Amino acid sequence: MGAHGWCNSSCSCCNCQWLLHINGNQPNNNIFLLPNLEELDLTYNDDLTGSFPSSNVKNDFFNNLKLLEVLVLRNSNITRSNLFLIGDLTHLTRLDLAGSNLSGQVPSSLTNLVRLQSLYLDNNNFSGRIPEFLGNLTLLENLGLSNNQLSRPIPSQISTLSLKLFDMSKNNLHGPIPSSIFKQENLEALSLASNSKLTGEISPSICKLKFLPLLDLSNNSLSGFIPQCLGNFSNSLSVLNLGMNNLQGTIFSPFSKRNNLKYLNLNGNELEGKIPSSIINCIMLQVLDLGDNKIEDTFPYFLETLPELYILALKSNKLHGFVNSPTTKNSFSKLRVFDISNNNLSGSLPIGYFNSFEAMMASDQNPLVTWKGVVIEFEKIQSTLRILDLSNNSFTGEIPKEIGKLKAVRQLNLSHNSLTGHIQSSLGMFTNLESLDLSSNLLTGRIPVQLADLTFLAVLDLSHNRLEGAIPTGKQFNTFNASSFEGNLDLCGFPMPKECNNDEAPPLQPSNFHDGDDSKFFGEGFGWKAVAIGYGSGFVFGVTMGYVVFRTRKPAWFLKVVEDQWNLKARRPKKNARRNGARRN
């Protein structure tokens, strides 16, 4: 319905106070003839294109909207040749132009909006400096400038504001983080993530932000030591992401009791030493990613006492020793991702933990890392994802039959170890399995025909073992090429060049294992390309915390998870390479 028709049917045009979700070829001029209009929201009207009214109404363009307090043009595909006239709307308290394909410098006309409390210019192509005039908007509380091309250092004028939200992620900022930012004692969310030229150290002054629930400084070039006060400076901090920097030293400690930390990502730094046992005080912790560092320690059994832990990523460190049986009851019962790949762990596979991973035994639709009032775009990815990665270690012995209990696992990687014995036929119970990598071990015997019944299996690597006999045929096995089986000299049949003798012919396939509910659930879920398949030795677990401002007049913001990176990338080494030298025979 057009704007004029809507007003005539719902209220007098002269008395309309709000108008939401208009569609059509372009905004109807009648919208701008509503003198009492207070809120205009054209959010997510993908069919709304064109420009604001032409120059013949230019003089009256916004003159009739002097009482407008909220203007939202978010993601509405509207081009604005008369954007500078927005500066005439001096009653505006909230302006949202995010995702509107805007370019050039941030318009200086915004300096007139002295009542502005929330300004969202995210997801555009603004370039140049961060405008210094923003410091004149003394009532501004929420400032979103993420995903633009803004450059230069952050101006000191920002320190004159009393911000609750400050998001400058995904820009081209460079230089150190100005200490003036840490004077914003009312901050509730601070993200400077993904500014690759942002350098320098993290000042201990950051611990002055006592009421800060979200801090994201990931994917930058920050160096130096992490301030030790981060472990106990606030009971408000829920999300801390310092991943993918050049931070050194040890993990900050101690962690205070009664803290509210739910997400801790220190992945991809140069951290050394041990994992502090005081992490057990983080009883709300759901995601812990310490991967890709230089941590030298034994397996941290104390983490099994964290009752809410969903994701544990310790990959690519210097962990050593055995992974023995759990020391407590219900250990890691909610764990969905267990990644200890690329370490120096040894001994048998941890059967005791396989028996404890209850969340990997059945699929569910419970979301991870949620906060009140948040709609998570990738909720199904989070709730269905089950990953077990113990690759590139020195585990020995057989694959235990108990692993068959973990039938909700979608990616299983045991490659580049020294495992012996047969491939367990119980793997055929993994009805949701999409990637299976058992390469570069010492496995013998035939490939279980039950694996051919895994209809979601997209990636299979059994190469460089001592397998023999006929390769199963049918279903997914008809899609795998020879690289999935190379290095097994006694395998025969398609797709290998060696033909099978009569006594080596593949047996008949067994009856279908699939549980109908599980298959239906996945079939209605996401395409795995959204997350990425194709594991080699380990995966890059780079959960980089993102968030979004909840665009309402009341409260300023809410948290959101996984807007940035559920980038579980494949990183495949050379077939005969090992982390610690040549493969053992």
Taking only the tens place, the pLDDT of each residue in 428-459 is 999 899 999 999 999 999 999 999 999 999 99
Residue 543 sits in a domain whose CATH number is 3.80.10.10
| Position 320 pLDDT exceeds 80 | yes
- Compute the distance between CA of residue 142 and CA of residue 163 in angstroms, rounded to an integer: 6
Residue 416 lies in a domain: yes
Of 329-333, 336-340, 363-367, 563-567, the poorest mean pLDDT is in 563-567
Peptide bond into 495 cis (omega under 30): yes
Give 389's strand partners.
339, 413
Q: Check residue 551 and give its pLDDT.
A: 27
Answer for the pair 395, 349: CB distance below 8 angstroms, yes or no.
yes
Q: Which amino acid is at 168?
A: M
With tokens 């994802």, the residue in question is 385
Residue 17 lies in a domain: no
DSSP state of 383: H
Rg (CA), the chain: 28
Q: Is residue 44 part of a domain?
A: no
Q: How confident is the model at residue 494 (pLDDT cuts 50, 70, 90)?
A: very high
Provide mean pLDDT across the span 296-307. 96
Which residues contact residue 528 at a Cβ distance below 8 angstroms, ignoring those fewer than 6 apart?
410, 434, 458
Q: Which two tokens stand for residue 37?
A: 């209009």
Residue 75 lies in a domain: no
Assigned domain for 101 exists:
no
**Is residue 433, in this structure, part of any structural domain at all?**
yes
Contact at 8 Å (CB) between 450 and 513?
Answer: yes
Cα separation, 256 vs 385, in Å, equals 31
- C-alpha 408/C-alpha 358 separation (Å) is 10
Q: What is the pLDDT of residue 508?
A: 52
Instruction: Tell me: pLDDT of 573 over 80.
Output: no
Is residue 121 pLDDT above 70, yes or no? Answer: yes
As a whole number, the mean pLDDT across the chain is: 78
Q: Which of 145-154, 358-367, 387-396 has the lowest mean pLDDT?
A: 358-367
Check: CB of residue 416 under 8 Å from CB of residue 537.
yes
pTM for this prediction: 0.81
Residue 300: what residue type? Answer: P
Which residues span the domain enclosing 569?
Answer: 322-585
Residue of 48, 81, 89 whose CA lies nearest to 65: 89
Residue 228 lies in a domain: no
Q: Is 276 part of any domain?
A: no
Number of domains in the chain: 1
